[in-house]
C-alpha cells in the first residue's frame, strides 16, 4: 500500500466509524496535534489519549462530528496532506469548514497527525 492508500483508508475508516481499521492504521504511539484553544486542543500521545479525545468529541457533538468530504490527497515522502471538510452540530452551536489533515506515515502506520482548521474561532466556539 502506498502512503496515499493508507491515508484514503484512514479517511474511510473515520467516515464509517470503522474502529478496527482505524486501530490497524494508527501506530499505538501515535502523536496527535489537535488545533485551537478549546477543551480538546493540544498534543495527544498514544492511541489511548487519542481514543479518549475522540470519544469525548463524539459525546459532545451527539455523534454528529464527521469528515464530510475528502477532496485531495497530496504526498511528499512520508507525509500526506488531505484536503477535507468537517462538520458537526450540537445544541446551540455548529461547525462546518474546510481543513487539512497532515499525516506522517512510517512502516505502513500513521505515526503523527496534524490538523488544520480554516476557521479556528468557529471550531473553538463549537467545542467550548
Q: How many CB atoms lie within 10 A of CB 106?
A: 11
Q: Are 70 and 82 in contact (CB under 8 A)?
A: yes
Query: Taking Cα atoms as reference points, which of 51, 123, 116 lies closest to residue 90?
Result: 123
Q: Residue 67 sits in which domain range? A: 3-127
**pTM (2 d.p.):** 0.95
Which residues are CB-contacts of 51 (< 8 A; sequence separation ≥ 6)? Answer: none
Q: What is the CATH number of the domain that holds 118?
A: 3.10.450.50
Q: Are 27 and 80 in contact (CB under 8 A)?
A: no
The domain total for the chain is 1
pLDDT digits (tens, 9 = 90+) for 51-105: 999 999 999 999 999 999 999 999 999 999 999 999 999 998 999 999 999 999 9
pLDDT digits (tens, 9 = 90+) for 8-60: 999 999 999 899 999 999 999 999 999 999 999 999 999 999 999 999 999 99
Amino acid at each position: 500500500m502506498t502512503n496515499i492508500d493508507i491515508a484514503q483508508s484512514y479517511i474511510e475508516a473515520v467516515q464509517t466509524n470503522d474502529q478496527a481499521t482505524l486501530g490497524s492504521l494508527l501506530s499505538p504511539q501515535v502523536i496527535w496535534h489537535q488545533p485551537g484553544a478549546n477543551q480538546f486542543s493540544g498534543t495527544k500521545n498514544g492511541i489511548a489519549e487519542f481514543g479518549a479525545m475522540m470519544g469525548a468529541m463524539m459525546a459532545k457533538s451527539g455523534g454528529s462530528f464527521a469528515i464530510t468530504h475528502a477532496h485531495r490527497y497530496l504526498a511528499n515522502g512520508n507525509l500526506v496532506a488531505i484536503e477535507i471538510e468537517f462538520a458537526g452540530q450540537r445544541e446551540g452551536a455548529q461547525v462546518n469548514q474546510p481543513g487539512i489533515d497532515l499525516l506522517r506515515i512510517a512502516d505502513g502506520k500513521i505515526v503523527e497527525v496534524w490538523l488544520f482548521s480554516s476557521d479556528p474561532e468557529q471550531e473553538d466556539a463549537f467545542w467550548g
